[in-house]
């Protein structure tokens, strides 16, 4: 009898211990994801919303198995640095950084925390990694490498007599500097004169566009976050001056640019979520190559701007299966 009672007692203790372990493992299953976005504009907002949607599809439910900490730097690198300091105190499992400047800020956490970036045009140039195939700084992510040559090829197809190209960008953004260098090389090869206008804030954009539109046949803006934040100003100013504005992202076309050749930012956001999922499940960052989006590109044209500029698309563009008219 005593032996049976002893066995029952041991069984009860064992069951209780199992339940406690189960409860403990449930709490450790709660993941913490810290997200920093540089600024509010359509491209980055699209990435964030598609990232959120994909994370839900992957089974992450806020408050149940994941805690999100989201901060917007409002376009200020000093604010971004402060946010990263806050993140360090939160001890997240992974940091997701949307856009190059905040990814560079987040790099200060990479020694102890995996970083997954989104929409970094030149990860190597931004010093986030020395290898796209084997990321070596505990940072990986998605790259929206801008196909500058393809965009400017379309500009020449629209206007074979294009002689002077204006470019507008924030030289404080590493991604923009890289793309403007590509534009400069293209112009030198094609015998096009390039006029530069650099800005540090949206308040400087109107005057910069006015100067460029007075002496240029067309204007090019890469996926510059400062310019993208003020596309209502840039787009309307160029359209009013009857100057086509070629841009580095589909969302910039949607917001008033004339034409771009590039990727779909929803796909980029979803791929970024897949990478975060891998990190949360234990995959080493070095085993997650940077995903560069440079295939299956579309030609994006703003229909309203097309009509206001009075441009007739050449057959080489109008009949291209990759053409997407944005209304």
Examine residue 3 and state whether it is found in any structural domain, yes or no.
no
Q: Does 74 have pLDDT greater than 60?
A: yes
Say yes or no: 172 and 285 in one domain: no
How far apart are the C-alpha atoms of 76 and 201, rounded to whole Å?
10
Range of the domain at 45: 32-144+264-292
Number of domains present in the structure of the chain: 2
Q: Does 12 have pLDDT greater than 60?
A: no
Q: Does 86 have pLDDT greater than 80?
A: yes
Task: Give the Cβ contact number of residue 19 at 10 Å.
Answer: 10
Question: Which pLDDT score is estimated for 294?
Answer: 84
pLDDT-based confidence at 28, cuts 50/70/90?
Answer: low
Average pLDDT over every residue of 170-179: 93
Question: Which pLDDT score is estimated for 29?
Answer: 85
pLDDT in tens, 199-219: 999 999 999 999 999 999 999
Say yes or no: 71 and 154 in one domain: no
Say yes or no: 102 and 180 in one domain: no
pLDDT in tens, 144-169: 989 999 999 999 999 999 999 999 99
Say yes or no: 218 and 312 in one domain: yes
**Strands 31-37 and 66-72, how do they pair?**
parallel
Say yes or no: 120 and 191 in one domain: no
Question: Which pLDDT score is estimated for 78?
Answer: 96
What b/e sequence results for 40-78 when a residue is b if at least 16 CB atoms lie within 10 Å of its CB, and e otherwise? ebbbbbbbbebbbebbeeeebeeeeebbbeebbbebeee
How far apart are the C-alpha atoms of 132 and 141, rounded to whole Å?
9
Average pLDDT, the chain: 92
Position with higher pLDDT, 72 vs 19: 72
Q: Does 22 have pLDDT greater than 80?
A: no
pLDDT in tens, 241-277: 999 999 999 999 999 999 999 988 999 999 999 999 9
pLDDT in tens, 33-58: 999 999 999 999 999 999 999 999 99
Q: What is the CATH number of the domain that holds 218?
A: 3.40.50.2300
How far apart are the C-alpha atoms of 187 and 179, rounded to whole Å?
12
Say yes or no: 316 and 242 in one domain: yes
Position with higher pLDDT, 295 vs 129: 129
Say yes or no: 171 and 207 in one domain: yes
Question: Which pLDDT score is estimated for 6?
Answer: 47
Average pLDDT over every residue of 314-324: 97
Say yes or no: 231 and 157 in one domain: yes
Examine residue 42 and state whether it is found in any structural domain, yes or no.
yes
Exposed/middle/buried for residue 259 (C-beta within 10 Å: 0-12, 13-18, 19+): buried
pLDDT-based confidence at 5, cuts 50/70/90?
Answer: low
How far apart are the C-alpha atoms of 234 and 262, rounded to whole Å?
20
Say yes or no: 122 and 271 in one domain: yes
Examine residue 136 and state whether it is found in any structural domain, yes or no.
yes
Say yes or no: 48 and 136 in one domain: yes
Say yes or no: 206 and 319 in one domain: yes
The torsion angles phi and psi of 40, rounded to 5 degrees, stand at -85, 115
Question: Which pLDDT score is estimated for 237?
Answer: 94
Q: Does 13 have pLDDT greater than 90?
A: no
Q: Does 16 have pLDDT greater than 80?
A: no
Examine residue 84 and state whether it is found in any structural domain, yes or no.
yes
Q: Does 17 have pLDDT greater than 50?
A: no
Position with higher pLDDT, 294 vs 319: 319
Question: Which pLDDT score is estimated for 149?
Answer: 97
The reported pTM is 0.83
């Amino acid at each position: 009898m005593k032996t049976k009672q002893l066995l029952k007692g041991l069984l009860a203790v064992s069951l209780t211990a199992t339940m406690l372990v189960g409860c403990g493992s449930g709490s450790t299953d709660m993941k913490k994801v810290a997200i920093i976005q540089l600024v509010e504009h359509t491209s980055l907002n699209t990435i964030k919303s598609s990232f959120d949607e994909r994370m839900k599809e992957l089974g992450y439910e806020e408050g149940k198995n994941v805690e999100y900490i989201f901060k917007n730097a409002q376009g200020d690198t000093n604010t971004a640095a402060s946010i990263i300091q806050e993140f360090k105190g939160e001890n997240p499992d992974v940091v997701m950084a949307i856009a190059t400047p905040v990814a560079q800020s987040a790099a200060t956490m990479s020694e102890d925390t995996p970083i997954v970036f989104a929409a970094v045009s030149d990860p190597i140039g931004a010093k986030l990694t020395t290898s796209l195939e084997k990321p070596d700084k505990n940072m990986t992510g998605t790259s929206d490498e801008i196909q500058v040559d393809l965009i400017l090829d379309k500009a020449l197809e629209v206007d074979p007599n294009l002689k002077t190209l204006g470019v507008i960008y924030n030289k404080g953004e590493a991604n923009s500097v890289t793309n403007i260098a590509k534009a400069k090389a293209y112009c030198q090869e094609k015998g096009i004169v390039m006029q530069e206008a650099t800005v540090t804030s949206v308040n400087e954009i109107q005057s910069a566009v006015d100067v460029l539109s007075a002496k240029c046949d067309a204007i090019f803006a890469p996926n510059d976050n400062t310019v993208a934040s003020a596309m209502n100003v840039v787009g309307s100013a160029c359209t009013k001056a009857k100057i086509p504005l070629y841009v580095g992202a589909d969302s910039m076309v949607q917001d008033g640019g004339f034409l771009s050749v590039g990727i779909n930012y929803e796909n980029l956001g979803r791929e970024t979520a897949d990478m975060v999922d891998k990190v949360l499940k234990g995959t080493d960052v070095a085993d997650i190559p940077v995903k560069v989006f440079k295939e299956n590109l579309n030609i994006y044209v703003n229909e309203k701007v097309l009509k206001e500029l009075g441009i007739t698309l050449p057959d080489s563009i109008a009949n291209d299966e990759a053409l997407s008219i944005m209304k």
